[in-house]
Amino acid sequence: MHFPENLKYTKDHEWILVDGNSATIGITDFAQHELGDIVYVDVNTVGKSLQKEEVFGTIEAVKTVSDLFMPVSGTITAVNDGLNNTPESVNKDPYGEGWIVKIALTNAAEVDALMNATAYRSSVGA
């Protein structure tokens, strides 16, 4: 499994890439592997301001549906519309083409409380 060093991670298996006051969020390679074949990603929170750990959408695999949690507080500014036609991008490239949302950060200091790649790798036993 792959754990990019430039990302931060949550206990709920989301990753976040911060760029100034905005960030991109997706699920980790570990999470997509555990879920199996992803068939649908549902995010209807564009424009909404959400707090850290609030649900911003769901991800559906063949055998289960899982909630997606905000790693930090922010406003959803964009959804990866490409996932409507190719949700399997989350399986194939979870840190690239399979990103899920972009946000405007509300409290950038919350990022500091997230796990780095080493801590996340350890938390999932990899």
Q: How much is the average pLDDT of 75-100?
A: 97
CA distance readout (Å), 19 to 16, 22, 47: 10, 5, 19
Long-range own/partner contacts, residues 83-86 (CB < 8 A, 24 or more apart) = 83/41, 84/41
Q: Are strands 101-105 and 22-27 parallel, antiparallel or unpaired?
A: antiparallel
- Per-residue model confidence (pLDDT) at position 109: 93
The residues spanned by each domain of the chain are 11-106
- Per-residue model confidence (pLDDT) at position 126: 81
pLDDT classification of 111: cutoffs 50, 70, 90: very high
Residue 6 has pLDDT above 90, yes or no: yes
pLDDT classification of 104: cutoffs 50, 70, 90: very high
pLDDT digits over 51-79, tens only? 999 999 999 999 999 999 999 999 999 99
Q: Which fold has domain 11-106?
A: OB fold (Dihydrolipoamide Acetyltransferase, E2P) (2.40.50)
Residue 13 has pLDDT above 90, yes or no: yes
Residue 67 neighbours by CB distance under 10 Å: 11
Q: Which residue has the higher pLDDT, 126 or 47?
A: 47
Percentage above 90 pLDDT, the chain: 96
d(CA 95, CA 99): 6
Of 86, 91, 111, 112, give the one whose Cα is nearest residue 24.
111
Can you give the pTM of this predicted structure?
A: 0.96
Residue 111 DSSP code: G
Residue 1 has pLDDT above 90, yes or no: no
